[in-house]
Structure 1
Amino acid sequence: MSASGHPTPSPPALPTRQRLAVQEAERARIARDLHDELGQLLTALRLSASALAQTLQDPAQQDLACDVLALAQDALERIRRLARGLHPPQLDSFGLVAALQALCEDLSRRGPARLQLTLATPVPRAAAEVELAAYRIAQEAISNALRHGQATHVRLHLSVEASLLQLQIDDDGRGHDIDAAPGFGRLAMRERATALGGTLQETAAATGTCLIARLPLHA
C-alpha cells in the first residue's frame, strides 16, 4: 500500500528467458549446497560409522553400526543424484552429449526402461543456454514417457541442421492426447524452446510419443 492509500503496483514480470536464467542459477546454487554441505556431512557420518563398526565387540552393536553406515551411504547417493538432477555437472564441463549420455546410463541402470542416445553426426557445442534448455526438455520428456506412458524404451537422437540443434525423443509408451490441455511439464518444455527462438513439435499415438525440439545453436 502506497502513502496515498492506493495499492502498490506489482513489479513487472521478468521476460521468460531472464526468468528461466534466474531459476537455473538458483538450481545450481541449491545443487552446490547439497553437494558441498550435506554431502560432506553424510560422508563424515559414513566414515564415523565405519570406524565405529570396526571398534565394537558386541555383534548386535556392530550390526547397528553397519546399518547406520548403509543408511548414510544410501542418503549420500540420493543427495548426489538430486544435485545432479538440479544441475548436471557434465553439462558445464563436457557438454550436452556427455550430459545426455550420463542421464541415459543412470536411468537405464536404475529402472526397467532402456534409454539410448544416438548422434547423426558429430554434434558441436552449442551456447550454454541452449544446451541447458535441450537437457531440461530431455529430462521432462523422459520423465513423461516413463511415469505416464509406461515406456520400456526411449531413444534420444541429436543432430544439427542449418545452425539448428535438433533433439528428437521417441518412446514406445502409451502416448497421450496432445490436443488435451497441456500439463506443467509440457508447458515448461515449450516455454524453454520458444524463449530461445526455437520450436517444439509433438505427436502421439497408442504406440508411443515423438517429440522434436529445434533450437538455434547460438541463441
Structure 2
Amino acid sequence: MKNLANEKEIVAIIFYTSGFFIIMAVILVLFFYFSRKKIIQKELEKKDLEIQYQKELLSAVIITQEEERKRIAQDLHDDISSKLNIVSLNSHLLSTPNLTNNEVIEITNTIINLTSKALDNSRKIAHGLLPPVLDKFGLHAGVEELCLDFSSSKAVKVNYENKTTFDIMDNDKHLHVFRILQELMNNSLRHGKASVISIVFEKKDTKDWCFYTDDGIGFEIKNHNNQKGLGMKNIESRVAFLKGEMVLETSINKGVSVVFNF
C-alpha cells in the first residue's frame, strides 16, 4: 500500500510538473506570438510612415517643378515673347514706303535694343535653370557667385567659407545643393529679413557638410505651416534625394540654423 501511495504521489508530481511546463510553454508561445505580431505591426506602421513621407517628398518635387515651369513660361511670355513681337512689328515697318533716313535709323535702333534685351533676359532664364559657372567650374564656384550676387544687392552680407573640395563629376548632385542654398538664402532675405548670412562647407566622416545660418527674425518651428511650406518641402526633398540628413533650428528673433550633409 505504501509503494502504491508513493507511485501515485510520483505520478501526481510528474502530472503537475508536466502541466506546469505545458502551461509555461503555451504562455511563452503566446508571448512570442503577440510580441512578434506587435513588432511586425510596428514595422508595417514604420514602412507606412516612410511611404507617406516619400509621397510627400515626391509631391513637393512635382509641385516645385510645376511652379518652376510656370515661372519660366511666364518669363518667356511676358518678357521674351513681348519684345520679339515688337521687334517683328518694327521689322515690318522697315518695309513701309517713303521712310526718311531718321525714321529708318530710329526703327533700326529700336530693333537692336529690343533684341539685345531679349538676349540678356534669355541668358538670365538659362542661368536660372543651370548656372554656367556651376556647370563649368563646380559647386564651389557656383556658390561663390551666388553669394556675390546676394551681397551685391547691399541688402544682406554673405560670409562664405569652403573647407573641402568638390568633384566636378558630381555636378548633377551638387546642383541640388546649390538649389537648397538658393532657397535658404531667398527665405532669409524675403521672409527672415536677415542682414548677415553665413555658409560653411566641411568634410566630416567621408561626407560633405553644409552649415547655414542667418541673423533674421526666425520663426516658430512648431508651426506646422512653417515646417511644411513649399520651400521647406523642396529643401527636404532635395536633401532626401542626396541621401543626406538635415537639422533645422530656429525660434522667434533667433535667426535660422540649417545643417545638412550630402
* TM-score greater than 0.5 by the shorter chain: yes
Structure 2 residues not aligned, in runs of 5+: 1-54, 95-99
The structure with more helix, counted as a fraction of residues? 2
- CA change 1:68–1:191 in 2 (3 A) is same
Deviations 1:164-207 (A, max 9, x none): 11111111111112222220110110111112211111111313
- Secondary structure at the aligned position of 1:149 is classed as coil
The structure with more strand, counted as a fraction of residues? 1
1:33-48 alignment runs, 5 A limit = none
Does the 8 A contact of 2:137 with 2:168 survive in 1?
no
Does the 8 A contact of 1:158 with 1:168 survive in 2?
yes
TM-score by length of 1: 0.65
Which AA in structure 2 matches 1:204? T
Q: Distance in 2 between matches of 1:184 and 1:105?
A: 26
Does the 8 A contact of 1:123 with 1:159 survive in 2?
no
The residue number in structure 2 matching 1:141 is 184
- CA change 1:159–1:172 in 2 (3 A) is same
Number of residue pairs aligned between Structure 1 and Structure 2: 178
1:81-160 alignment runs, 5 A limit = 81-125=124-168, 127-160=170-203
The residue number in structure 1 matching 2:46 is none
Quote how far apart the aligned CAs of 1:95 are: 0.8
TM-score by length of 2: 0.55
* Identical columns (%): 29
Quote how far apart the aligned CAs of 1:108 are: 1.8
- Secondary structure at the aligned position of 2:210 is classed as strand
Q: Distance in 2 between matches of 1:124 and 1:178?
A: 35
Which AA in structure 1 matches 2:245? T
Quote how far apart the aligned CAs of 1:138 are: 0.5
Structure 1 residues not aligned, in runs of 5+: 1-12
Q: Does 1:166 align with 2:209?
A: yes
- Secondary structure at the aligned position of 1:154 is classed as strand
Does the 8 A contact of 1:123 with 1:158 survive in 2?
no
Quote how far apart the aligned CAs of 1:80 are: 2.4
Does the 8 A contact of 2:197 with 2:213 survive in 1?
yes
Question: Relative contact order: is structure 1 or structure 2 higher (C-alpha 8 Å, sep ≥ 6)?
Answer: 1
Of 190, 215, 240 in structure 2, the residue corresponding to residue 194 of structure 1 is 240
Q: Distance in 1 between matches of 2:149 and 2:211?
A: 19
Deviations 1:90-132 (A, max 9, x none): 2221110011111111222235212232112444546233211
Deviations 1:133-191 (A, max 9, x none): 11111011001000000111212111111221111111111111222222011011011
- Secondary structure at the aligned position of 2:147 is classed as helix
Quote how far apart the aligned CAs of 1:209 are: 0.6
- Secondary structure at the aligned position of 2:223 is classed as coil
Quote how far apart the aligned CAs of 1:86 are: 1.8
Quote how far apart the aligned CAs of 1:84 are: 1.3
